[in-house]
């Protein structure tokens, strides 16, 4: 995990201020930092509280001094929040691009493996008992990584060239052409195409890492601001106990982790995920959250809150999140959130939009 996530999950030291706010916070739906996906809602709550505080403190608004000695007003905090949301969108966009690039690599790998297998059947049929046959490479698996997959393909390409330069066995015409019409030059071009696809994927994976790092920088600054807001609250709000009682939290209250709920997801129509889930039996249930990210795997680091349901709402979510183009795939979880802020996520669910469906408007 990045530095921002480590900061986000660290509990604040127990203070008199925290004990004052605990009872009040326990009675309302609390929003707090439990990971990158919770920054949006937590910053919203701090921004709202800060707005109320400035009204109470008028004509002198609250200005924070951060650990790096810079200052931050409420408007600057709101701007930081907007920047974080924009960066989250950028991160999801790059995640989609990585997914598409990985899909292109996998298609090229499957096509090349089929050619490789045709080449080895030609060896089996006409070259047994020769040095060429003894030098034949073993087939890779389509799930192998770049280097492991490419090496036997490259070995086959070189062997094919040597065979074309050698003496043809009886019944064989040189240069060798596979049953589907592929010659050695075409096969070499396919390998080159796969190498370019790998390069494109690696570039997009780098862009995703940079986007994640930029988001973490924003989160780190946002966390520092919210922490300083809380640390200065007892002095700043001494004449306004209602502000202390409603002070947003940054970490969950002590308490148990809830039981996760069973959930399932399907493609609804052409570009929406429909998620249904069982009811939680938790007596202190605050809400359900649908979280997710673009791609083949659920990532706590990259997931965002897509939608929220109150305890009594119909137990389903319907969202186009991440399915804005053919072939796109999303990973989803339903989270049970208690009013203490403790939470538990369901098993990951995956929904994919068919590649043949036209791009959504």
For the record, the structure tokens of 236 come out as 């700043």
- Of 281, 333, 340, nearest to 311 (Cα)? 281
The partner residues of 294 in beta bridges, in order of sequence, read: 330
Task: Specify whether 272 is located in the same domain as 228.
Answer: no
Task: Specify whether 326 is located in the same domain as 350.
Answer: yes
- The residue from 202, 227, 254 where one domain ends is 254
Average pLDDT over residues 249-274: 94
Q: Could you report the per-residue pLDDT of 128-171, keeping only the tens digit for each?
A: 999 999 999 999 999 999 999 999 999 999 999 999 999 999 99
For the domain that residue 318 is a member of, what is the CATH number? 2.60.40.10
The reported pLDDT for the residue numbered 31 is 60
Strand bridging mode 285-294 / 304-309: antiparallel
Task: Specify whether 303 is located in the same domain as 249.
Answer: no
- The residue from 254, 282, 303 where one domain ends is 254
Contact 276, 313 (CB under 8 A): no
The reported pLDDT for the residue numbered 327 is 86
- The residue from 254, 286, 309 where one domain ends is 254
pTM of the model: 0.81
Task: Specify whether 327 is located in the same domain as 234.
Answer: no
Tokens 């039981």 correspond to what residue?
Answer: 259
Task: Specify whether 259 is located in the same domain as 185.
Answer: no
> How does DSSP assign 294-324, residue by residue?
ESSS--TTT-EEEEEE-TTS-SEEEE-TT-S
The partner residues of 264 in beta bridges, in order of sequence, read: 276
Q: Please state the domain count of the chain.
A: 2
Q: Could you report the per-residue pLDDT of 204-246, keeping only the tens digit for each?
A: 999 999 999 999 999 999 999 999 999 999 999 999 999 999 9
Alpha carbon distance 241, 246 (integer Å): 9
Domain encompassing residue 68 = 1-254
């Amino acid at each position: 995990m990045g530095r921002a996530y480590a900061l986000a999950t660290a509990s604040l030291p127990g203070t008199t201020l925290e004990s004052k706010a605990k009872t009040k916070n326990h009675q309302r739906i609390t929003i707090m930092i439990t990971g990158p996906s919770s920054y949006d809602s937590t910053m919203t709550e701090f921004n709202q509280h800060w707005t109320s505080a400035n009204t109470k403190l008028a004509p002198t608004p609250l200005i924070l001094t951060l650990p790096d000695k810079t200052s931050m007003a409420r408007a600057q905090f709101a701007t930081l929040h907007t920047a974080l949301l924009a960066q989250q969108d950028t991160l999801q966009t790059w995640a989609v691009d990585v997914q598409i690039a990985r899909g292109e690599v996998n298609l090229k790998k499957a096509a090349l493996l089929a050619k490789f297998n045709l080449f080895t059947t030609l060896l089996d049929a006409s070259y047994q008992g020769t040095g060429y046959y003894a030098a034949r490479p073993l087939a890779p698996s389509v799930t192998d990584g770049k280097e492991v997959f490419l090496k036997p393909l490259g070995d086959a390409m070189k062997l094919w060239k040597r065979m074309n330069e050698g003496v043809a066995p009886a019944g064989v015409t040189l240069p060798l052409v596979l049953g589907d019409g592929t010659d050695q030059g075409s096969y070499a071009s396919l390998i080159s195409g796969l190498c370019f696809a790998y390069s494109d994927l690696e570039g997009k994976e780098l862009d995703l890492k940079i986007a994640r790092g930029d988001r973490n920088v924003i989160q780190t600054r946002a966390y520092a601001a919210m922490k300083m807001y809380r640390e200065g609250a007892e002095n700043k709000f001494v004449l306004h106990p209602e502000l202390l009682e409603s002070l947003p939290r940054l970490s969950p209250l002590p308490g148990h982790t809830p039981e996760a709920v069973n959930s399932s997801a399907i493609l609804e129509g052409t570009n929406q995920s429909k998620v249904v889930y069982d009811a939680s039996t938790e007596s202190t249930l605050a809400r359900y959250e649908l979280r997710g990210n673009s791609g083949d795997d659920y990532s706590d680091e990259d997931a965002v809150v897509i939608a929220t349901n109150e305890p009594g709402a119909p137990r389903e979510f319907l969202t186009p999140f991440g399915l804005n183009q053919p072939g796109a795939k999303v990973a989803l979880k339903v989270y049970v959130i208690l009013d203490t802020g403790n939470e538990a996520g369901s098993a990951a669910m995956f929904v994919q939009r068919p590649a043949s469906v036209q791009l959504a408007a």
